Structure 1
Protein backbone atom coordinates (compact mmCIF):
# COMPACT_ATOMS: atom_id res chain seq x y z
CA UNK A 1 0.00 0.00 0.00
CA UNK A 2 1.30 3.43 -0.91
CA UNK A 3 2.17 5.99 1.75
CA UNK A 4 -0.51 8.69 1.49
CA UNK A 5 1.29 11.32 3.52
CA UNK A 6 1.55 14.64 1.70
CA UNK A 7 -1.79 14.30 -0.06
CA UNK A 8 -3.05 17.74 -1.09
CA UNK A 9 -6.28 17.30 -3.06
CA UNK A 10 -7.82 14.19 -1.47
CA UNK A 11 -9.08 13.25 1.98
CA UNK A 12 -6.02 11.68 3.60
CA UNK A 13 -8.15 10.21 6.43
CA UNK A 14 -9.53 7.48 4.18
CA UNK A 15 -7.43 4.70 2.69
CA UNK A 16 -8.31 2.62 -0.38
CA UNK A 17 -8.42 -1.14 0.06
CA UNK A 18 -6.59 -1.50 -3.26
CA UNK A 19 -4.76 1.77 -4.09
CA UNK A 20 -4.30 2.38 -7.80
CA UNK A 21 -0.54 3.11 -7.71
CA UNK A 22 -0.85 4.09 -11.39
CA UNK A 23 1.75 6.37 -12.96
CA UNK A 24 0.41 9.37 -14.88
CA UNK A 25 1.62 9.91 -18.46
CA UNK A 26 0.74 13.54 -19.31
CA UNK A 27 0.32 13.11 -23.07
CA UNK A 28 -1.90 10.05 -22.62
CA UNK A 29 -4.05 11.94 -20.11
CA UNK A 30 -4.35 14.93 -22.45
CA UNK A 31 -5.54 12.64 -25.23
CA UNK A 32 -8.50 11.43 -23.17
CA UNK A 33 -9.14 14.37 -20.85
CA UNK A 34 -9.35 17.52 -22.95
CA UNK A 35 -9.85 19.76 -19.93
CA UNK A 36 -6.13 19.37 -19.20
CA UNK A 37 -5.32 20.99 -22.56
CA UNK A 38 -7.91 23.76 -22.15
CA UNK A 39 -6.42 24.71 -18.78
CA UNK A 40 -3.02 25.23 -20.38
CA UNK A 41 -4.31 27.81 -22.87
CA UNK A 42 -4.98 30.69 -20.40
CA UNK A 43 -1.62 29.98 -18.74
CA UNK A 44 0.21 30.32 -22.04
CA UNK A 45 -1.79 33.42 -22.99
CA UNK A 46 -1.01 35.09 -19.66
CA UNK A 47 2.70 34.30 -20.07
CA UNK A 48 2.72 35.94 -23.51
CA UNK A 49 0.80 38.89 -22.09
CA UNK A 50 3.42 39.26 -19.34
CA UNK A 51 6.29 39.20 -21.83
CA UNK A 52 4.73 41.43 -24.50
CA UNK A 53 2.36 43.86 -22.75
CA UNK A 54 2.31 44.01 -18.95
CA UNK A 55 4.68 42.17 -16.66
CA UNK A 56 2.56 43.05 -13.62
CA UNK A 57 -0.86 41.89 -14.81
CA UNK A 58 0.48 39.15 -17.02
CA UNK A 59 2.60 37.88 -14.16
CA UNK A 60 -0.36 37.96 -11.77
CA UNK A 61 -2.59 35.96 -14.11
CA UNK A 62 0.30 33.61 -14.87
CA UNK A 63 0.61 32.79 -11.18
CA UNK A 64 -3.16 32.24 -10.85
CA UNK A 65 -3.36 29.92 -13.84
CA UNK A 66 -0.18 28.13 -12.80
CA UNK A 67 -1.76 27.31 -9.44
CA UNK A 68 -4.94 26.09 -11.16
CA UNK A 69 -2.93 23.83 -13.47
CA UNK A 70 -0.79 22.58 -10.59
CA UNK A 71 -3.84 21.61 -8.53
CA UNK A 72 -5.48 19.92 -11.53
CA UNK A 73 -2.44 17.76 -12.27
CA UNK A 74 -1.84 17.08 -8.57
CA UNK A 75 -5.44 15.93 -8.26
CA UNK A 76 -5.05 13.53 -11.19
CA UNK A 77 -1.78 12.15 -9.85
CA UNK A 78 -3.27 11.57 -6.40
CA UNK A 79 -6.47 10.10 -7.88
CA UNK A 80 -4.58 7.37 -9.70
CA UNK A 81 -1.94 6.85 -7.02
CA UNK A 82 -4.23 6.62 -3.98
CA UNK A 83 -7.76 6.11 -5.34
CA UNK A 84 -9.56 2.77 -5.06
CA UNK A 85 -8.73 0.41 -7.92
CA UNK A 86 -11.45 -1.96 -9.17
CA UNK A 87 -11.86 -4.10 -12.23
CA UNK A 88 -14.34 -3.19 -14.94
CA UNK A 89 -15.86 -5.18 -17.79
CA UNK A 90 -16.94 -3.85 -21.19
CA UNK A 91 -20.68 -4.60 -21.26
CA UNK A 92 -21.69 -2.79 -24.45
CA UNK A 93 -20.02 -1.73 -27.68
CA UNK A 94 -22.78 0.48 -29.09
CA UNK A 95 -22.70 2.64 -27.08
CA UNK A 96 -19.39 1.72 -25.46
CA UNK A 97 -19.97 1.14 -21.75
CA UNK A 98 -18.09 -0.51 -18.90
CA UNK A 99 -19.42 -1.79 -15.57
CA UNK A 100 -17.53 -1.52 -12.28
CA UNK A 101 -18.61 -2.72 -8.86
CA UNK A 102 -17.72 -1.69 -5.32
CA UNK A 103 -19.13 -1.59 -1.81
CA UNK A 104 -19.97 1.96 -0.77
CA UNK A 105 -19.71 1.08 2.93
CA UNK A 106 -17.40 3.36 4.91
CA UNK A 107 -16.53 0.50 7.22
CA UNK A 108 -16.85 2.19 10.61
CA UNK A 109 -20.61 1.58 10.87
CA UNK A 110 -20.67 -1.87 9.34
CA UNK A 111 -23.17 -2.94 6.72
CA UNK A 112 -22.74 -3.69 3.05
CA UNK A 113 -23.81 -1.36 0.26
CA UNK A 114 -22.92 -3.05 -3.06
CA UNK A 115 -23.38 -1.13 -6.29
CA UNK A 116 -22.52 -1.35 -9.96
CA UNK A 117 -21.58 1.80 -11.83
CA UNK A 118 -21.94 1.85 -15.61
CA UNK A 119 -19.97 4.57 -17.35
CA UNK A 120 -19.17 5.56 -20.94
CA UNK A 121 -15.92 4.15 -22.28
CA UNK A 122 -13.51 5.70 -24.79
CA UNK A 123 -10.76 3.06 -24.68
CA UNK A 124 -9.69 0.23 -26.99
CA UNK A 125 -11.29 -2.66 -25.11
CA UNK A 126 -13.87 -4.87 -26.81
CA UNK A 127 -17.04 -6.49 -25.47
CA UNK A 128 -16.35 -8.56 -22.30
CA UNK A 129 -12.77 -7.30 -22.02
CA UNK A 130 -11.49 -6.65 -18.51
CA UNK A 131 -10.47 -3.07 -17.76
CA UNK A 132 -8.57 -1.61 -14.81
CA UNK A 133 -10.09 1.49 -13.17
CA UNK A 134 -9.31 3.80 -10.26
CA UNK A 135 -12.15 5.56 -8.43
CA UNK A 136 -12.74 8.37 -6.00
CA UNK A 137 -15.75 8.32 -3.67
CA UNK A 138 -18.27 11.05 -2.83
CA UNK A 139 -20.26 11.55 0.35
CA UNK A 140 -22.19 14.45 1.89
CA UNK A 141 -21.74 13.62 5.58
CA UNK A 142 -19.09 11.89 7.66
CA UNK A 143 -21.88 10.41 9.82
CA UNK A 144 -23.53 8.35 7.09
CA UNK A 145 -22.56 4.64 6.93
CA UNK A 146 -21.93 4.69 3.18
CA UNK A 147 -20.71 6.90 0.36
CA UNK A 148 -23.25 8.42 -2.02
CA UNK A 149 -21.41 7.56 -5.23
CA UNK A 150 -18.06 6.60 -6.73
CA UNK A 151 -16.36 7.65 -9.95
CA UNK A 152 -14.17 5.03 -11.63
CA UNK A 153 -11.86 6.11 -14.47
CA UNK A 154 -10.13 3.59 -16.76
CA UNK A 155 -6.38 3.52 -16.12
CA UNK A 156 -5.67 3.46 -19.86
CA UNK A 157 -6.86 7.10 -19.91
CA UNK A 158 -3.64 8.08 -18.12
CA UNK A 159 -1.14 5.31 -18.86
CA UNK A 160 -0.41 3.37 -22.06
CA UNK A 161 2.38 1.11 -20.76
CA UNK A 162 1.20 -2.46 -21.36
CA UNK A 163 3.22 -3.94 -18.50
CA UNK A 164 1.83 -1.41 -16.03
CA UNK A 165 -1.74 -1.94 -17.26
CA UNK A 166 -1.35 -5.70 -16.84
CA UNK A 167 0.03 -5.15 -13.33
CA UNK A 168 -3.18 -3.31 -12.44
CA UNK A 169 -5.29 -6.21 -13.70
CA UNK A 170 -3.20 -8.67 -11.67
CA UNK A 171 -4.09 -6.74 -8.51
CA UNK A 172 -7.69 -8.01 -8.79
CA UNK A 173 -8.58 -11.47 -7.53
CA UNK A 174 -10.54 -13.91 -9.65
CA UNK A 175 -13.23 -13.79 -6.97
CA UNK A 176 -13.65 -10.05 -7.56
CA UNK A 177 -14.25 -10.66 -11.28
CA UNK A 178 -16.83 -13.36 -10.48
CA UNK A 179 -18.55 -10.97 -8.08
CA UNK A 180 -18.68 -8.24 -10.74
CA UNK A 181 -20.13 -10.64 -13.32
CA UNK A 182 -22.78 -11.84 -10.84
CA UNK A 183 -23.80 -8.29 -10.01
CA UNK A 184 -23.96 -7.27 -13.67
CA UNK A 185 -26.51 -10.06 -14.22
CA UNK A 186 -28.80 -8.34 -11.70
CA UNK A 187 -29.03 -5.25 -13.93
CA UNK A 188 -31.60 -5.21 -16.69
CA UNK A 189 -30.59 -4.84 -20.32
CA UNK A 190 -30.07 -2.83 -22.41
CA UNK A 191 -27.37 -1.40 -20.18
CA UNK A 192 -27.39 2.33 -19.55
CA UNK A 193 -25.21 4.77 -17.64
CA UNK A 194 -25.84 5.13 -13.94
CA UNK A 195 -25.34 3.86 -10.41
CA UNK A 196 -27.27 0.71 -9.59
CA UNK A 197 -27.82 -0.58 -6.06
CA UNK A 198 -27.46 -4.35 -5.78
CA UNK A 199 -29.85 -5.99 -3.34
CA UNK A 200 -28.76 -9.33 -1.90
CA UNK A 201 -29.38 -11.24 1.32
CA UNK A 202 -26.29 -9.65 2.84
CA UNK A 203 -26.75 -6.09 1.56
CA UNK A 204 -27.95 -3.24 3.78
CA UNK A 205 -29.91 -1.32 1.16
Structure 2
Protein backbone atom coordinates (compact mmCIF):
# COMPACT_ATOMS: atom_id res chain seq x y z
CA UNK A 1 0.00 0.00 0.00
CA UNK A 2 1.00 3.61 -0.53
CA UNK A 3 0.30 6.78 1.44
CA UNK A 4 -1.64 9.44 -0.41
CA UNK A 5 0.05 12.10 -2.50
CA UNK A 6 -0.53 15.46 -0.81
CA UNK A 7 -1.05 17.07 -4.24
CA UNK A 8 -3.81 14.65 -5.24
CA UNK A 9 -7.44 15.03 -4.19
CA UNK A 10 -10.31 12.57 -4.52
CA UNK A 11 -13.38 13.68 -6.44
CA UNK A 12 -15.58 11.75 -3.99
CA UNK A 13 -13.54 11.14 -0.82
CA UNK A 14 -14.47 8.18 1.34
CA UNK A 15 -16.38 8.99 4.51
CA UNK A 16 -16.13 5.93 6.74
CA UNK A 17 -14.55 5.17 10.11
CA UNK A 18 -11.54 2.91 9.57
CA UNK A 19 -11.57 0.06 12.11
CA UNK A 20 -8.21 -1.72 12.55
CA UNK A 21 -9.90 -4.83 13.95
CA UNK A 22 -12.07 -5.23 10.85
CA UNK A 23 -9.12 -4.58 8.54
CA UNK A 24 -7.08 -7.20 10.42
CA UNK A 25 -9.54 -9.89 9.30
CA UNK A 26 -8.90 -8.90 5.68
CA UNK A 27 -5.09 -8.65 5.73
CA UNK A 28 -4.08 -10.71 8.77
CA UNK A 29 -1.13 -12.48 7.10
CA UNK A 30 0.59 -9.21 6.22
CA UNK A 31 -0.12 -7.68 9.64
CA UNK A 32 1.12 -10.73 11.54
CA UNK A 33 4.30 -10.87 9.45
CA UNK A 34 5.06 -7.22 10.22
CA UNK A 35 4.50 -7.72 13.95
CA UNK A 36 6.62 -10.87 13.95
CA UNK A 37 9.43 -8.99 12.22
CA UNK A 38 9.37 -6.40 15.00
CA UNK A 39 9.19 -8.97 17.83
CA UNK A 40 11.93 -11.11 16.29
CA UNK A 41 14.22 -8.10 15.98
CA UNK A 42 13.71 -7.25 19.66
CA UNK A 43 14.12 -10.82 20.92
CA UNK A 44 17.23 -11.47 18.82
CA UNK A 45 18.68 -8.22 20.13
CA UNK A 46 18.20 -9.29 23.74
CA UNK A 47 19.12 -12.96 23.49
CA UNK A 48 21.28 -13.52 20.39
CA UNK A 49 23.14 -10.46 19.10
CA UNK A 50 22.90 -6.73 19.71
CA UNK A 51 23.19 -6.18 15.97
CA UNK A 52 19.55 -7.26 15.67
CA UNK A 53 18.53 -4.02 17.42
CA UNK A 54 19.50 -2.22 14.21
CA UNK A 55 16.41 -3.76 12.61
CA UNK A 56 14.03 -2.49 15.31
CA UNK A 57 13.65 1.08 13.91
CA UNK A 58 13.09 -0.39 10.44
CA UNK A 59 10.45 -2.78 11.76
CA UNK A 60 8.74 0.02 13.71
CA UNK A 61 8.67 2.22 10.61
CA UNK A 62 7.25 -0.58 8.44
CA UNK A 63 4.45 -1.22 10.95
CA UNK A 64 3.70 2.47 11.29
CA UNK A 65 3.73 3.08 7.54
CA UNK A 66 1.48 0.08 6.88
CA UNK A 67 -1.27 1.32 9.21
CA UNK A 68 -1.03 4.92 7.99
CA UNK A 69 -1.35 3.74 4.38
CA UNK A 70 -4.25 1.42 5.19
CA UNK A 71 -6.25 4.09 7.02
CA UNK A 72 -5.49 6.77 4.41
CA UNK A 73 -6.67 4.50 1.61
CA UNK A 74 -10.22 4.74 2.92
CA UNK A 75 -10.21 8.53 2.67
CA UNK A 76 -9.46 8.34 -1.07
CA UNK A 77 -11.85 8.10 -4.05
CA UNK A 78 -15.15 6.36 -3.31
CA UNK A 79 -16.78 4.36 -6.12
CA UNK A 80 -19.68 1.97 -6.44
CA UNK A 81 -19.19 -1.68 -7.33
CA UNK A 82 -21.54 -4.39 -8.62
CA UNK A 83 -21.20 -8.12 -7.98
CA UNK A 84 -20.91 -9.72 -11.44
CA UNK A 85 -19.96 -13.30 -10.59
CA UNK A 86 -20.09 -15.95 -7.87
CA UNK A 87 -17.58 -18.78 -7.36
CA UNK A 88 -15.36 -16.82 -7.39
CA UNK A 89 -17.12 -13.69 -6.23
CA UNK A 90 -16.09 -10.83 -8.52
CA UNK A 91 -17.02 -7.16 -8.37
CA UNK A 92 -16.87 -4.62 -11.20
CA UNK A 93 -15.96 -1.01 -10.38
CA UNK A 94 -15.94 1.84 -12.88
CA UNK A 95 -13.98 5.07 -12.91
CA UNK A 96 -12.46 7.61 -15.26
CA UNK A 97 -8.65 7.55 -15.16
CA UNK A 98 -8.39 11.13 -16.48
CA UNK A 99 -6.20 13.41 -14.38
CA UNK A 100 -6.98 16.94 -15.56
CA UNK A 101 -9.60 16.55 -18.26
CA UNK A 102 -10.19 14.03 -20.98
CA UNK A 103 -12.16 10.83 -20.94
CA UNK A 104 -10.52 7.52 -19.99
CA UNK A 105 -13.26 5.16 -18.77
CA UNK A 106 -12.31 1.79 -17.32
CA UNK A 107 -13.76 -1.15 -15.46
CA UNK A 108 -11.72 -2.83 -12.74
CA UNK A 109 -12.78 -6.37 -11.85
CA UNK A 110 -11.64 -7.42 -8.38
CA UNK A 111 -12.03 -10.51 -6.23
CA UNK A 112 -14.33 -9.97 -3.28
CA UNK A 113 -14.58 -11.79 0.03
CA UNK A 114 -17.93 -10.56 1.34
CA UNK A 115 -18.73 -10.36 5.03
CA UNK A 116 -22.30 -11.47 4.28
CA UNK A 117 -24.18 -13.37 1.58
CA UNK A 118 -24.27 -11.55 -1.75
CA UNK A 119 -25.88 -12.22 -5.10
CA UNK A 120 -24.97 -11.24 -8.64
CA UNK A 121 -26.25 -7.71 -9.14
CA UNK A 122 -25.76 -6.61 -5.52
CA UNK A 123 -24.17 -3.20 -5.03
CA UNK A 124 -21.26 -2.50 -2.72
CA UNK A 125 -19.05 0.47 -1.91
CA UNK A 126 -15.31 0.64 -2.63
CA UNK A 127 -12.59 3.19 -2.07
CA UNK A 128 -9.61 3.47 -4.40
CA UNK A 129 -6.23 5.08 -4.78
CA UNK A 130 -4.81 5.78 -8.24
CA UNK A 131 -1.45 4.78 -9.72
CA UNK A 132 0.59 7.00 -12.02
CA UNK A 133 2.56 5.69 -14.99
CA UNK A 134 6.20 4.97 -14.15
CA UNK A 135 7.27 7.37 -16.91
CA UNK A 136 5.07 10.20 -15.63
CA UNK A 137 7.78 12.28 -13.98
CA UNK A 138 6.60 15.76 -14.86
CA UNK A 139 8.85 16.00 -17.90
CA UNK A 140 7.01 13.26 -19.77
CA UNK A 141 3.47 14.09 -18.67
CA UNK A 142 0.78 11.45 -19.14
CA UNK A 143 -2.73 12.85 -18.69
CA UNK A 144 -4.32 9.73 -17.24
CA UNK A 145 -3.64 7.34 -14.40
CA UNK A 146 -2.36 3.89 -15.33
CA UNK A 147 -4.44 1.95 -12.78
CA UNK A 148 -6.56 2.25 -9.65
CA UNK A 149 -6.99 -0.02 -6.63
CA UNK A 150 -10.56 -0.22 -5.31
CA UNK A 151 -10.97 -2.00 -1.96
CA UNK A 152 -14.44 -2.89 -0.62
CA UNK A 153 -15.58 -0.67 2.23
CA UNK A 154 -16.66 -3.59 4.38
CA UNK A 155 -12.99 -4.64 4.64
CA UNK A 156 -12.47 -1.56 6.82
CA UNK A 157 -15.73 -1.15 8.75
CA UNK A 158 -18.59 -3.33 9.95
CA UNK A 159 -20.87 -0.36 10.61
CA UNK A 160 -23.78 -1.20 8.30
CA UNK A 161 -25.27 2.29 8.57
CA UNK A 162 -21.98 3.84 7.41
CA UNK A 163 -21.80 1.39 4.52
CA UNK A 164 -25.38 2.12 3.45
CA UNK A 165 -24.75 5.86 3.69
CA UNK A 166 -21.64 5.60 1.52
CA UNK A 167 -23.44 3.56 -1.14
CA UNK A 168 -26.29 6.07 -1.15
CA UNK A 169 -23.80 8.79 -2.17
CA UNK A 170 -23.21 7.19 -5.57
CA UNK A 171 -25.19 8.65 -8.44
CA UNK A 172 -27.41 6.73 -10.84
CA UNK A 173 -24.87 7.63 -13.52
CA UNK A 174 -22.15 5.70 -11.69
CA UNK A 175 -24.25 2.54 -11.59
CA UNK A 176 -25.14 2.98 -15.26
CA UNK A 177 -21.45 3.40 -16.12
CA UNK A 178 -20.65 0.08 -14.44
CA UNK A 179 -23.44 -1.78 -16.18
CA UNK A 180 -22.53 -0.26 -19.54
CA UNK A 181 -18.85 -1.08 -19.06
CA UNK A 182 -19.48 -4.65 -17.93
CA UNK A 183 -21.61 -5.24 -21.04
CA UNK A 184 -18.41 -4.79 -23.06
CA UNK A 185 -16.45 -7.44 -21.14
CA UNK A 186 -16.08 -11.03 -22.25
CA UNK A 187 -17.32 -13.89 -20.09
CA UNK A 188 -16.14 -15.65 -18.06
CA UNK A 189 -15.04 -12.59 -16.14
CA UNK A 190 -11.58 -12.45 -14.61
CA UNK A 191 -9.84 -9.89 -12.37
CA UNK A 192 -8.08 -7.06 -14.16
CA UNK A 193 -8.30 -3.54 -15.57
CA UNK A 194 -10.30 -3.10 -18.76
CA UNK A 195 -10.59 -0.05 -20.99
CA UNK A 196 -14.17 0.51 -22.12
CA UNK A 197 -15.96 2.78 -24.62
CA UNK A 198 -12.66 2.97 -26.49
CA UNK A 199 -14.07 4.35 -29.75
CA UNK A 200 -16.04 7.07 -27.95
CA UNK A 201 -13.32 8.24 -25.56
CA UNK A 202 -9.74 9.46 -25.50
CA UNK A 203 -8.48 5.87 -25.40
CA UNK A 204 -8.68 5.90 -29.18
CA UNK A 205 -5.91 8.52 -29.34
CA UNK A 206 -3.46 7.08 -26.80
CA UNK A 207 -1.05 4.17 -27.04
CA UNK A 208 -0.40 3.90 -23.29
TM range (shorter): 0.7 to 0.9
Offset of residue 169 of structure 1: 0.7
Match of 1:189 in 2: 187
> Which residue among 41, 62, 68 is the counterpart of 1:68?
62
Separation of aligned partners in 1, 2:45 and 2:166: 44
In structure 1, the residue matched to 2:93 is 100
Determine which of 78, 84, 103 is the counterpart of 2:77: 84
Q: Which residue of 1 aligns with 2:163?
A: 165
Which residue in the other structure is 2:149 paired with? 151
Residue 34 (structure 2) pairs with residue 39 (structure 1)? yes
State the shift of 1:60 in Å: 3.1
Tell me how large the CA RMSD over aligned residues is.
1.9
- After TM superposition, the score normalised by the length of structure 2 is 0.86
Structure 1 unaligned blocks of 5 or more: 1-7
| Aligned positions, number | 194
- Shift, 1:147, TM fit: 0.7
Distance in 2 between the 1:175 and 1:79 partners? Answer: 24
Deviations 1:98-146 (A, max 9, x none): 0000000002xx3100000101111133321111101111112141111
Q: Deviations over 1:52-91 (max 9, x none)?
A: 556x54543222201110001101111112x111000110
Cα distance in 2 for partners of 1:174, 1:62 equals 50
The yes-or-no answer on 1:139 pairing with 2:132 is yes
Q: What SS class does the counterpart of residue 74 from structure 2 fall into? A: helix
Partner of 1:17: 11
TM-score, normalised to structure 1, is 0.87
Q: Which runs of 5+ in 2 are unaligned?
A: 204-208
